[in-house]
A and B are shown apart, each in its own frame.
Chain A
Amino acid sequence: MTVVSAALGSVHPVRATPEDAVLDVRDLRMRYGSTDVLKGVSFTASRGEVVALLGPNGAGKTTTIEILEGFRMRSAGEVRVLGQDPARGGEAWRARLGVVLQSWRDHAKWRVRELLAHLGSFYAEYSTDAIRRPWDTDELIETVGLTPHARKRVGGLSGGQRRRLDVAIGIVGRPELLFLDEPTAGFDPEARREFHDLVHRLSDDDETTILLTTHDLDEAEKLSDRILILGGGSIIADGSADELSRRMSTEAEVKWTRDGQRFVHATTEATEFVHKLFLQHGEQIRDLEVRRASLEDTYMTLVRQFEDRPGAGVPQDAKEGQR
């Protein structure tokens, strides 16, 4: 995979106004039988923004993504994806979306290059002056790091290679909006790193909007401009990783040594505490370390708070879909 030139972790501080929103979801509801899986989900995403959708199993992540992809009908709510209702999105709308699917054993007899060239040919009709579709096959194979395997049969690829192919198929039409449902499940650390570089490249260079779900909180923090946490069918938190931990005012951990002795102190006002510490002891303070709450801490706090709330019935075993 080619190395990205753009700086990692670029910030997109501007919130989407409804006009330029690529994704605009308002009060989305989904009900299977008598179970409410989504109870009023609202969020927006603007061009080039990377949004991570987090939440415990059964919180409704997959259901949400499938509704936005146009693969599932919603029960109620307003949804606009690239300006259109996904339930009525035509093929021209479909051509502007990319969906990375978890493959299993489909197209096993096809060769990697053959399959990408074939699937890409469906997008040629939807090429515009601004966005040339499809992605050049060899360039795409190079981008996802499959060049040595371009002539291999898909059925003979390793799990990690297959996931790279899944990603390549998802972006072969140069999508303006890309859906990634647990994209790095089964990746080794190196492949994961390369995949992260690719996501940054897509969002920074091509202004692709990306909605991803993951259970890897470290990944969510690295990749996304914004994090949405779903709990029990509604959004319980929305903001950047920093904003979330500040909003939670979770405690930071301050460590230092003085006279060869180690000290640890947990506080919500880390800056003020350190200032006082130096006023009091000055140069005796050594090995100072301030560890702000990680996204994982924030996430656990939020989800626990939510689950402890009376009446917050989290459908623990609610199967997403399959009903």
Chain B
Amino acid sequence: MTAIASAARAGMARGRIELRHTFTNVQDLWAYLFPAVVFTVVLYFMHGATVPGMNFQLSSMTLPSVLGMNIAFGGLVNLSQALVTEREDGTLLRAKAIPNGMIGYLVGKIVQVSGMILIGIVLVLVPGLFFANSVHFGASSVPTLLWVLVLGLLATMPLGAVIGSLIDSPRSMGLVMLPMMGLIAVSGVFYPITSLPSWLQHVGQSFPLYWVGLGMRSALLPDAMTAAEIGASWRTLETVGVLGAWAVVGLAVAPVVLRRMARRESGSSVAARREKALQRMPR
């Protein structure tokens, strides 16, 4: 048990180191700043408009929804992307060759991805507040923000781990991104879900994305805004229920899939992938 605990500690250190690395190169800094700039501009253009049929600033409604999207999207995509690329480049095989290395690797990834999402949220929230004047951001919003964040990550990261284990090459990540884009459209991020046909509402409500957004809105919007939601309520219990269910299923399935994926890793499988990737490179 102590070995596992110390591997988990090493994993935390790993996560912190890798998070620090994201501040040291242009590519990662761009990945932080680009969405922050885009969403700030979007919110700027929305700040004069109102929610259809209501006297409420549109940007203030969109800001919490965008934060929710960043959590759900980030948990799923960042983790699956990391698993796919780091399996291809041999990082996972290294972890496998080291005692308890897989535990350290996974803990490290969870810490790193959580940290990246937290930073991403702050980078959208802080400038966004300037153009979303009706958002109620106070001491009382913080506890709700935190539990929605934690539950949102628990619901999406195991799912990301499963997807990352099943996809065999970084070039197949598009298979994940496309349906994710569709899901954003039906999850009430930029559009109130109530204005969609009811079958699409059902689709949206069966995935974590909608519920993380709803949770974020409940944390940052005045209660009067429940009028724009399904059932005219923040449906806190349902949020906990649906996100909790996704988390339980994900945490049950992910270890099995991860173990199966890790078992197949060997020097020759990494070498074969390297060969394939090199062949694809332009000469």
Chain A residues packing against B (C-beta within 8 Å)? 62-63, 65-66, 69, 71-72, 91-92, 94-95, 97, 99, 101-107, 109-110, 114, 118-119, 121-126, 169, 173, 181, 319-322
CB distance from B276 to the nearest CB of A (A): 10
In the bound complex, CA of A109 to CA of B272 (Å): 23
B99 touches A126 (CB 8 A): yes
In the bound complex, CA of A109 to CA of B18 (Å): 8
In the bound complex, CA of A281 to CA of B267 (Å): 59
CB distance from B250 to the nearest CB of A (A): 25
Q: Does B229 contact A (CB under 8 A)?
A: no
A-B contact count (CB 8 A): 100
A321 touches B272 (CB 8 A): yes
Contacts of A69 in B (CB 8 A): 97, 266-267
Contacts of A62 in B (CB 8 A): 267-268
Contact with A along B82-110 (1 / 0, CB 8 A): 00001001110110111111001000000
A–B Cβ pairs within 8 angstroms, 15 of them: A71-B267, A91-B99, A91-B100, A92-B3, A104-B90, A104-B270, A106-B89, A109-B21, A109-B25, A110-B21, A119-B94, A121-B6, A122-B7, A125-B99, A181-B267
Contacts of B268 in A (CB 8 A): 62-63, 66, 320-322
A118 touches B99 (CB 8 A): no
B266 touches A122 (CB 8 A): no
B6 nearest in chain A by CB position? A125
CB distance from A117 to the nearest CB of B (A): 10
CB distance from B88 to the nearest CB of A (A): 9
Instruction: Given contacts A110-B21, A173-B98, list 13 more A-B pairs with CB under 8 A.
Output: A71-B267, A91-B100, A95-B99, A97-B97, A101-B90, A101-B94, A102-B271, A104-B89, A106-B86, A109-B25, A110-B17, A118-B10, A125-B7
A122 touches B91 (CB 8 A): no
Partner of B13 from A99, A102, A107, A121 at Cβ < 8 Å: A121
A109 nearest in chain B by CB position? B21
Q: Does B269 contact A (CB under 8 A)?
A: yes
Most buried by B among A110, A169, A181, A322: A322
CB distance from A258 to the nearest CB of B (A): 55
Most buried by B among A69, A103, A126: A103
In the bound complex, CA of A36 to CA of B142 (Å): 62
Q: Does B14 contact A (CB under 8 A)?
A: yes
In the bound complex, CA of A220 to CA of B166 (Å): 40
Partner of B99 from A94, A101, A104, A105 at Cβ < 8 Å: A94
Contact with A along B247-267 (1 / 0, CB 8 A): 000000000000000000111
Most buried by A among B24, B86, B99: B99
In the bound complex, CA of A72 to CA of B3 (Å): 24
Q: Does B198 contact A (CB under 8 A)?
A: no
In the bound complex, CA of A94 to CA of B98 (Å): 7
In the bound complex, CA of A42 to CA of B97 (Å): 24
A114 touches B265 (CB 8 A): no
Partner of B267 from A66, A107, A110, A121 at Cβ < 8 Å: A66
Contacts of A103 in B (CB 8 A): 90, 94
B97 touches A322 (CB 8 A): no
A121 touches B89 (CB 8 A): no
Q: Does B172 contact A (CB under 8 A)?
A: no
B1-59, CB < 8 A from A = 2-3, 6-7, 10, 13-14, 17-18, 21, 24-25
Q: Assuming the A-B contacts A109-B21, A122-B7, A125-B3, are A102 and B98 also in contact, with contact meaning beta carbons closer than 8 angstroms in the complex?
A: no
A118 touches B13 (CB 8 A): yes
Q: Does B202 contact A (CB under 8 A)?
A: no
